[in-house]
Amino acid sequence: MRHEISPLDGRYAEMLAPLGECFSEIALARERCRVELRYLTAVDRLRIFDPLSADEQSRIEELFRAFGQADYHRIKAIEADVVHDVKACELFLRERLNLSQPERIHFALTSADVNNLAYARIFKRYRDEHQRPQLKRLIAKLADLAEAWSAIPFPARTHGQHASPTTAGKEMAVFLSRLLRQAKQLAEQTFAGKLNGATGTYAAFAIAASEHDWIAFSQRFVEDLDLAWSPCTTQVEPGDGLAEYLALTSRINTIVQDLDLDLWQYISHGEIIQKTVSSEVGSSTMPHKVNPIRFENSEGNITIANALLPALAQKLAQSRMQRDLSGSTVIRNVGVALAHSYLALQQTMKGLDRIDIDRDAARAAIDAHPEVLAEAIQTMLRREGVEDPYALLKSLTRGRAMTLDAVQAWVDGLELPEPLVARIKALEPANYVGLAEALCKQAVSEARAWLSTA
């Protein structure tokens, strides 16, 4: 029986299982070995050592393709003796490959060369295979809701007080547009790597094989891994690009949490309702409850993720002089922060699948506050040249419960052209939504165009 410490590996293990391919110990060991194997074949082309035989090349290719549980367990057994994770990988490769010249394995490398490239490839894989597809699904879901709700009048509140109405679709389009901007940046985010030795000087490379252009070799090797090359570093890759990525992820989380909070409020006010499932319960004692638990779950996981992400970004962009080990343990927790982020977005999408607009409640909330037409009326009066209409409407409406009849009676008391009076009397709060529908449709169109090519 396992006793999981983290809910990521316990309560939410099934939901997060795909992330194990990126953030598990076996994933890290596999990626370290793959970097070593790619380096081994790249150095072979330099002919510093005798050429690899066909059998040796075949063993290298097979291990690269089929690294498995038994290989991982062997590495951990070696690590238990040598107490060094990357050295354990090197010794495993010596044993597993049985090369005629085993010293070519890990030639001139420091463990940081292997680690930084392995982690960069892991984070890039997570971004490409999990994070971006998930964010695209969320954007598609918001586009569907925004489109379906584009013309549905919806109450608006500024400072928690009733304000000029909107449409439900336009409010979804706000979050759609915000997330689309971040998704475009996420697609362009680069992950960097370095390969230059113990203090970033290529000293071991140059002293052992000075006839080669090791700077050019390093650039080719890193870029062949589909990473951006960091040319001038200490023993460690600076981590600035990783810090940018973590900050970007935190911004995405913040937008999603903002969505969670708004939807929670709309549900609380009754303007958005949740679809029920007969087998579910919302309270152990109150049978009527249908709680917005998915949005609350998302909010909580984002709180955890966004506490970790800035701390990770700051720490991983720092190193004492040429190297210290404090970042080594910290970087292992990047997967924890990203997993909480991933879990949060999953919960938000589950919540979005279960909501709808209560059109009657939304309309009633709008109609109950005709004073929101004060903005429309005073602006129309401004155009007609009426002196200080803002003050006139303020004295009528500020802090008061109004009726539409009272507003219209007040208009009758003004000396206004009859066409203008008729236009004002035709106003209804639910129709005072400006260009909300057009804005919504524009946002949806932009999102769908991006989704079709992203």
For residues 130 and 209, state if they share a domain.
yes
**Is 73 known to be catalytic?**
no
283 assigned to active site: yes
Strands (E), 329-405: 355-357
Counting the structural domains of the chain, the total is 3
Q: What angle do CA 222, 226, 228 make, to 5 degrees?
A: 60
Judge if 26 and 143 occupy the same domain: no
Tell which residue, 331, 360, 356, 367, has the closest CA to residue 162.
367
Nearest to 430 by CA among 175, 151, 174, 146: 151
Report percent pLDDT > 70 for the chain.
97
Domain boundary among 61, 79, 106: 106
> Which of residues 333 and 229 earns the better pLDDT score?
229
Q: Which two tokens stand for residue 178?
A: 């915000």
Q: In whole angstroms, give the CA distance from residue 75 to residue 72.
A: 5
Domain region containing 427: 365-431
Task: Give how far Cα 109 sits from Cα of 49, 87, 114, 189, 222, Å.
Answer: 16, 11, 8, 27, 14
Q: What is the mean pLDDT of residues 349-362?
A: 95
Most distant CA pair in the chain: distance in Å? 102
pLDDT at site 118: 97
Confidence band for 410, pLDDT divided at 50, 70 and 90: confident
Residues 414 and 314 in one domain: no
Residue 3 confidence (pLDDT) above 80: no
The pLDDT value recorded for residue 328 is 78
Catalytic residue among 159, 278, 279, 284: 159
> Mapping DSSP to helix (H, G, I), strand (E, B) and coil, where does residue 168 land?
helix
Of 155, 145, 149, 151, the C-alpha closest to 363 is: 155
What average pLDDT does range 338-361 have in this prediction?
A: 95
**Are both 298 and 234 inside the same structural domain?**
yes
Within a domain: 446:
no
User: Which residue has tokens 């236009």?
Assistant: 423
Instruction: Tell me the CA end-to-end span of the chain in Å, nearest whole number.
Output: 43
Over residues 5-17, the pLDDT tens digits come to: 788 888 888 888 8
Whether the per-residue pLDDT at 73 is higher than 90: the answer is yes
d(CA 185, CA 163): 33
Distance CA 78, CA 164 (A): 68
- The pLDDT of residue 246: 96
Pick the catalytic residue from 53, 58, 268, 283: 283
Within 13 A of 15's CA, how many CA atoms are on the CB side? 16
Q: How far from 443 is each of 121, 132, 210, CA to CA, in Å?
A: 34, 19, 58
pLDDT band at 286 (very low <50, low <70, confident <90, very high): low
**Among 332, 356, 380, where does a domain finish?**
356
Residues 416 and 310 in one domain: no
